[in-house]
Chains A and B, each alone.
Chain A
Amino acid sequence: MSDILKVENVTLQFGGVKAITDISFNVKEGEICAVIGPNGAGKSSMLNVINGVYLPQIGTVTYDGVERQSINPRDAAIAGMARTFQNIALFQGMNVLENIMTGRNLFMKSTWLEQGLNIGRAREEERVNRLAVEKVIKFLQIESIRKTPVSKLPYGLQKRVELGRALVAEPKILLLDEPMAGMNLEEKADMSCFILEINKEQGITTVMIEHDMGVVMDISDHVVVLDYGKKIGDGSPSEVMANQDVIDAYLGVSH
Chain B
Amino acid sequence: MIYRETGNFVTNYFKDREIFPLKFDKVVVILGLLYLFLYVPTTSEYFLSAHVIPILAVGLATVGLNILTGLTGQLSLGTAGFMCVGAFGTYNLMLRVPDALMSLPFALLLSGIFAGLVGVIFGLPAIRIKGFYLLVSTLAAQYFVWWFFNSYAWFLNYESSGVVAIAPKFYDYWGLGNFLGVDMQGYPARYLLALVICIGLSYFAKNLLRSNTGRNFMSVRDRDIAASVMGISVPKAKLLAFFISCFYCGVAGGIYSFLYIGNVDLMIYEVDRSFTILFMLIIGGLGSISGSWLGAIFVYEFPIIFTWVGDFIFQGAFNTAVVENVSNMVYGVFIIALLIREPGGFAALWATTKQKLRMWPYPH
- Looking at A92-100, A192-200, A201-209, A230-238, the stretch in contact with chain B turns out to be A92-100
Contacts of A250 in B (CB 8 A): none
Contacts of B17 in A (CB 8 A): 126
Give chain A interface residues in 77-124, CB to chain B under 8 Å. Answer: 77-78, 82-83, 85, 89-94, 98, 101-106, 108, 110, 112, 115-118, 122-123
**Chain B residues bordering chain A, tally (CB within 8 A):** 31
- Measured in the bound complex, the distance between the Cα atoms of B222 and A77 in whole Å is 19
- Measured in the bound complex, the distance between the Cα atoms of B222 and A131 in whole Å is 25
- Looking at B83-91, B148-156, B230-238, B295-303, the stretch in contact with chain A turns out to be B230-238
Q: Are A165 and B230 in contact (CB under 8 A)?
A: yes
Question: Which of B16, B207, B230 has a CB less than 8 Å from the CB of A105?
Answer: B230
Give chain A interface residues in 44-84, CB to chain B under 8 Å. Answer: 51, 53, 72-74, 76-78, 82-83
- Asked whether B44 is an interface residue with its Cβ less than 8 Å from the other chain, the reply is no
Give chain B interface residues in 191-229, CB to chain A under 8 Å. Answer: 204-205, 207-208, 211-216, 218-219, 221-223, 225-229
Question: Which of A51, A78, A118, A169 has a CB less than 8 Å from the CB of B207?
Answer: A118
- Asked whether B14 is an interface residue with its Cβ less than 8 Å from the other chain, the reply is yes
Q: How far is the CB of B255 from chain A (nearest CB, A)?
A: 19
Q: How far is the CB of B216 from chain A (nearest CB, A)?
A: 6
- Asked whether A127 is an interface residue with its Cβ less than 8 Å from the other chain, the reply is yes
- Asked whether A188 is an interface residue with its Cβ less than 8 Å from the other chain, the reply is no
Q: Are A74 and B211 in contact (CB under 8 A)?
A: no
- Measured in the bound complex, the distance between the Cα atoms of B244 and A122 in whole Å is 18
Q: How far is the CB of A156 from chain B (nearest CB, A)?
A: 19
- Asked whether B13 is an interface residue with its Cβ less than 8 Å from the other chain, the reply is yes
Q: Are A53 and B207 in contact (CB under 8 A)?
A: no
Contacts of A102 in B (CB 8 A): 215-216, 219, 227, 230, 232
Question: Which of A53, A72, A76, A112 has a CB less than 8 Å from the CB of B244?
Answer: A112
Q: How far is the CB of A6 from chain B (nearest CB, A)?
A: 21
Given contacts A91-B226, A116-B213, A126-B17, A105 and B218 within 8 Å (CB-CB): no
Give chain A interface residues in 32-51, CB to chain B under 8 Å. Answer: 51
**SS class of chain A's interface: helix, strand, loop or mixed?**
helix
Q: How far is the CB of A177 from chain B (nearest CB, A)?
A: 11
- Asked whether A130 is an interface residue with its Cβ less than 8 Å from the other chain, the reply is yes
Q: Are A53 and B221 in contact (CB under 8 A)?
A: no
Complex: chain A residue closest to B234, CB-CB: A74
- Asked whether A22 is an interface residue with its Cβ less than 8 Å from the other chain, the reply is no
Question: Which of A72, A123, A169 has a CB less than 8 Å from the CB of B230?
Answer: A169
Contacts of B230 in A (CB 8 A): 77, 82, 102-103, 105-106, 165, 169
Q: Are B205 and A90 in contact (CB under 8 A)?
A: no
- Asked whether A125 is an interface residue with its Cβ less than 8 Å from the other chain, the reply is yes
Q: Are B223 and A105 in contact (CB under 8 A)?
A: no
Give chain B interface residues in 300-317, CB to chain A under 8 Å. Answer: none
Complex: chain B residue closest to A175, CB-CB: B229
Identify the interface centre among A73, A104, A112, A118: most chain B CB within 10 Å of its CB.
Answer: A112
- Asked whether B240 is an interface residue with its Cβ less than 8 Å from the other chain, the reply is yes
Q: Are B213 and A74 in contact (CB under 8 A)?
A: no
Given contacts A102-B230, A102-B232, A94 and B215 within 8 Å (CB-CB): yes
Q: Are A76 and B229 in contact (CB under 8 A)?
A: yes
Question: Which of A94, A117, A131 has a CB less than 8 Å from the CB of B218?
Answer: A94
Q: How far is the CB of A98 from chain B (nearest CB, A)?
A: 6
Q: Are A105 and B216 in contact (CB under 8 A)?
A: yes
Given contacts A85-B226, A90-B223, A98 and B211 within 8 Å (CB-CB): no
Given contacts A102-B219, A126-B17, A130-B13, A73 and B213 within 8 Å (CB-CB): no
- Asked whether B116 is an interface residue with its Cβ less than 8 Å from the other chain, the reply is no
Question: Which of B211, B229, B233 has a CB less than 8 Å from the CB of A126?
Answer: B211
Question: Which of A53, A93, A117 has a CB less than 8 Å from the CB of B225?
Answer: A53
- Asked whether B287 is an interface residue with its Cβ less than 8 Å from the other chain, the reply is yes
Contacts of B205 in A (CB 8 A): 116
- Measured in the bound complex, the distance between the Cα atoms of B222 and A85 in whole Å is 14
11 interchain pairs, CB-CB under 8 A: A77-B231, A89-B226, A93-B222, A98-B218, A102-B219, A116-B208, A117-B207, A122-B211, A125-B212, A134-B13, A169-B231
Using a CB–CB distance below 8 Å, which chain A residues touch chain B? 51, 53, 72-74, 76-78, 82-83, 85, 89-94, 98, 101-106, 108, 110, 112, 115-118, 122-123, 125-127, 130-131, 134, 165, 169
